[in-house]
């Protein structure tokens, strides 16, 4: 029996990989404009990084991580998200000692043991940005603007920005008590996972996926009503900054995000076009994560964006991709002498930047032309003894059907033109 890819993983074949390459190029270019430089971190990290950074009470740490012991008896985890490794790299490289802010972007595979569904895989790929070193809400607005620009740049229009504040160490304990007081009479009716969260992280009950939990939490108090003066001012500043850039948003008090490290700003770009997994980009501020991982007290803000979910949404939006795998020209030949001549011509064209398709199965001319039509090359030439003798080729435009005879030495210039 043939070996298949592991459940929750997906091969990306040439007929689709160029789409991924397209969004990667667009993301890299946009990050460059915003002044973010690329950071690349290992595929696996010490398990402690995620238990300290992501949080012991999160679903990721409790249920979803791929963790194993290596031959040195160290606990190792395939990274389930990109922020904690970026923070670890920021600390280990001593970039915090340089003039701030420090601005990273990354493009990385991530791994979570989840039930595979539309837009959700066990191995998935994520874009992200992190801005370290400033508590000012301009940084939050800039990060949101980058995500908004990118989503719009790739042609998606039906996505909404939702924002919230999840408070800070000063005001969150007050809200935590108010929320627990509200939920306590319903404790026995909560789902098992929400019961576990009741003491450890009751805010997560607000965004529970369990329908009955949602009914219970429908009238629960929200963090926005318990913000301290500093968090209130920060949230108003965030809104003013987004207004200044003309970025529309909805204040959504139910956004709490699934990671423990968030403080103040939390945001999501959401859509209803890919089923239950409607969040394609999410992020926020984390003023204590650098310190919790072992670095100095330096704030940060960033986001993560799932590439598979983005491509799925682009498909639902009927966005057309130009296929760069289509050759500029196909070369067909008749006879062994013409085959060698065509091979040399193809090599010369490729050296000069022209994408060339040429038959390597020694098909007859009819088979070669059928292959060329399948590849949908823009131009084609057929070479025989007569063309070699005269040093010419007949160049055919496959779209218009127009053809003309030119010197073989002028073929590169003619295609470029």
Q: What share of the chain is helix, strand, coil (3-state, %, to 5)?
A: 45, 20, 35
Half-sphere exposure (Cβ direction) of 20: Cα atoms closer than 13 Å: 18
Structure tokens at 197: 């969260």
Residue 323 Cα to chain centre, angstroms = 20
| Residue 82 assigned to a binding site | yes
The phi and psi torsions of 2 (rounded to 5 degrees) equal -65, 140
DSSP 111-170: E-----BTTB-SEEEEEEEEEES---HHHHHHHHHHHHHHHHHTT--S-EEEEEE---TT
Residue 275, sorted as left (phi over 0), alpha (psi -120 to 50) or beta, turns out to be: left
Tell how far CA 70 is from the center of its chain: 29
Residue 165 structure tokens: 């504040």
Q: Is residue 32 annotated as involved in ligand binding?
A: no
The response to whether 81 counts as a known ligand-binding position is yes
Q: Is 69 annotated as a binding-site member?
A: no
The answer on whether 262 is annotated among ligand-binding residues is yes
Q: Is 261 annotated for ligand binding?
A: yes
- The answer to whether 83 is a known ligand-binding residue is yes
> 334: which 2 tokens?
């008749």
Residue 257 labelled as part of a binding site: yes
Whether omega before 101 lies within 30 degrees of 0, making that bond cis, reads yes
The b/e string for 129-163 (b: 16+ C-beta within 10 A; e otherwise) is bbbbbbeebebbbbbbbbbbbbbeebebeebebbb
Binding-site entries for L-histidine:
81-83, 112, 126, 130, 257, 261-262
Binding-site entries:
81-83, 112, 126, 130, 257, 261-262
């Amino acid at each position: 029996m043939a070996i298949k890819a592991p459940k929750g993983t997906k091969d990306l074949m040439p007929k689709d990989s160029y789409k991924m390459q397209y969004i990667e190029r667009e993301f890299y270019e946009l990050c460059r404009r915003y002044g973010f430089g690329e950071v690349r971190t290992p595929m696996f990290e010490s398990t402690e990084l995620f238990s300290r950074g992501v949080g012991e009470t999160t679903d990721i740490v409790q249920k979803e991580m791929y963790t194993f012991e290596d031959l040195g008896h160290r606990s190792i985890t395939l990274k389930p998200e990109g922020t904690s490794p970026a923070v670890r790299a920021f600390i280990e490289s001593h970039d915090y000692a340089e003039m701030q802010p420090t601005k990273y972007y990354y493009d990385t595979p991530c791994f979570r043991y989840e039930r595979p569904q539309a837009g959700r895989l066990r191995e998935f790929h994520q874009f992200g940005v992190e801005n370290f070193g400033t508590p000012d809400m301009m940084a939050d607005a800039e990060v949101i603007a980058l995500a908004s620009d990118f989503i719009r740049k790739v042609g998606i229009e039906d996505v909404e920005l939702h924002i919230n504040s999840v408070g800070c160490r000063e005001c969150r304990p007050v809200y935590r008590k108010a929320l627990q007081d509200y939920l306590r009479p319903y404790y026995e009716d909560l789902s098992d996972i929400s019961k576990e969260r009741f003491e450890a992280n009751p805010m997560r009950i607000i965004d529970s996926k369990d329908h009955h939990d949602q009914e219970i939490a429908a009238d629960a108090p929200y963090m926005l009503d318990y913000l301290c003066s500093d968090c209130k001012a920060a949230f108003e500043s965030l809104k003013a900054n987004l207004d200044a850039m003309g970025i529309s948003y909805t204040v959504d008090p139910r956004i709490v995000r699934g990671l423990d490290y968030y403080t103040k700003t939390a945001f999501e770009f959401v859509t209803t076009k890919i089923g239950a997994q409607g969040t394609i980009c999410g992020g926020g501020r984390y003023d204590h994560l650098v310190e919790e991982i072992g670095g100095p007290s330096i704030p940060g803000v960033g986001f993560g964006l799932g590439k598979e979910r983005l491509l799925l949404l682009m498909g639902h939006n009927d966005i057309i991709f130009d296929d760069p795998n289509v050759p500029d020209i196909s070369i067909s030949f008749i006879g062994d002498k013409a085959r060698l001549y065509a091979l040399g011509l193809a090599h010369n064209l490729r050296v000069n930047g022209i994408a060339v398709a040429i038959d390597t199965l020694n098909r007859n001319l009819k088979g070669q032309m059928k292959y060329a039509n399948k590849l949908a090359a823009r131009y084609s030439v057929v070479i025989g003894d007569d063309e070699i003798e005269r040093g010419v080729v007949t160049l055919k435009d496959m779209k218009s059907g127009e053809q003309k005879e030119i010197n073989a030495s002028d073929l590169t210039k003619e295609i470029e033109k």
